[in-house]
Structure 1
Amino acid sequence: MSVSFDFSDDVALVTGASGALGSAVCRAFADAGATVAAADVVAPDDEDTALDADRERIHFYEGDFTDESDVERVVSEVADDHGGLDYLANIAGTWRGGTPIEETDAETFDFLFDVNLKTMFLASKHALPHLRDGGGNGSDREGEQGAIVSVSARSSLEGGEGDGPYRASKAGVRLLTETIAEENAGEVRANAVMPSVIDTPANREMMPDADHDKWVDPADIAETILVLCSDATSVTSGAAVPVYGEA
């Protein structure tokens, strides 16, 4: 059974767009007809980017989403350039671990909470007024709701050895998602996805002996994110959806 989406006339803002998952989400939205505002601190010409910013319907916005003034600027530019905003995908995130709490430095803690949680908080904060107004590219979204989808993690569901700050930051994403859903009921839906190990070049390099066949392709997670933005989940808000397959 095949699934297709039509996001024509809609505008989606994707943070962390230069990474493996962020670029997959940008491609999925663009393939479905959306105008994609791809935002990242890493520019498309950087050797580490996975984003094809020359692709039709993808527009790159450079900004540091741990900096509130940068976030406010980018979100305003996106809304001005495209006539509004319909969806926000909070993809920006990273992993650090390998040490117990007593050996983890404060800089690592701050870094994880900044990249994983603060970016999601700031992007959501400044996108919400536009998502309530809706109607990017002049579309008429009367009776429909804007949507936010953020990336939590399977490991956020419990404590574990060696990566406590990462787990805590991703648990924060889940809790903020539930809060945003509660505060914006009937206007903006907010959900999260929970991956485990994503099949990316970086993860393959980090774990060369793992069973990569059990890892989840970024494109499959991107498809779930589109589902959570679509009318197919119009009654779903405040959920944390597993997207870890067998990983």
Structure 2
Amino acid sequence: MSVEYDFEGQVVLVTGAGGALGGGVVEAFTAGGATVAAADLLEPDEVDLPDGVTYYQGDFTDEEAVADTVEHVVDAHGGIDALVNVAGTWRGGSPVDETDVELFDFLFDVNLKTMFLASKHALSHLRESDGGAIVSVSARSSLEGGTGDSVYRATKAGVRLITESIAEENRGEVRANAIMPSVIDTPANREMMPDADHDSWPTPAEIAEVICFLCSDASGVTSGAAVPVYGEA
């Protein structure tokens, strides 16, 4: 069943917009009529975005850059109605006793600090919106420990816990939910896992539909949730 969302008059800030999932989210909100502000660390000529999308280059691990970007979005568009925290990465890993502290710091910065800072600086504007919402990307693997990628799992568990806290702290004002993908059907993942069952992997577009739902009036009673989006993977 195909669902169409109406985000006319809504301003949506998407971090990590230059990646496969971020790009899918930008396209979905644009198709729904939203005014989309896309943010990423990449150079503008490295990001392929739909017409009408405003691009903001910035390092979302840097609080000053995040604050400046949020204010630029508000100044340009009058506010923020939804924040989608997609910025993040996976770098494989090693057993805990073989993991470099540099990798630990990097993953916590990119996966958790970006989500924390974007949420921190957007919240005051989201409270002024009629139905402000945050959706952040956690991961299926955050639900339990595993071999070789403990730091990644910990960062994504942190995303879930901060999401739950934001939901609790902003009851009746801003809804906050997380999604939990496993393996997403992207060219990079297909290249890394050529023998996997690619048909079982959800696409960025399919996951973006769930994110749109969580930012829409249709999910008005949902906050503090961690929603599985791993399909049959």
Give the TM-score taking structure 2 as reference length: 0.98
Structure 2 equivalent of residue 117 of structure 1: 112
Alignment check: 8 A CA contact 1:98 1:162 kept? yes
1:210 deviates by 1.4
Structure 1 equivalent of residue 221 of structure 2: 235
Q: Deviations over 1:63-113 (max 9, x none)?
A: 000000000000000000001110000000100224111111001011111
CA distance in 2, matches of 1:98, 1:86: 36
CA distance in 1, matches of 2:43, 2:21: 16
Deviating 4+ runs (over 2 angstroms): none
1:28 matched to 2:28: yes
1:127 matched to 2:122: yes
CA distance in 1, matches of 2:89, 2:26: 18
Identity %: 71
1:206 deviates by 1.4
Number of equivalent positions: 233
Alignment of 1:31-180 (within 5 A): 31-46=31-46, 49=47, 51-52=48-49, 55-134=50-129, 144-180=130-166
1:44 deviates by 3.3
Opposite residue 63 of structure 1, the aligned amino acid is G
1:8 matched to 2:35: no
Alignment check: 8 A CA contact 1:20 1:218 kept? yes
Structure 2 equivalent of residue 223 of structure 1: 209
Structure 1 unmatched runs, 5+: 135-143
Give the TM-score taking structure 1 as reference length: 0.93
RMSD of aligned Cα (Å) = 0.9
Alignment check: 8 A CA contact 2:44 2:57 kept? no
Alignment check: 8 A CA contact 1:199 1:215 kept? yes
Structure 2 unmatched runs, 5+: none
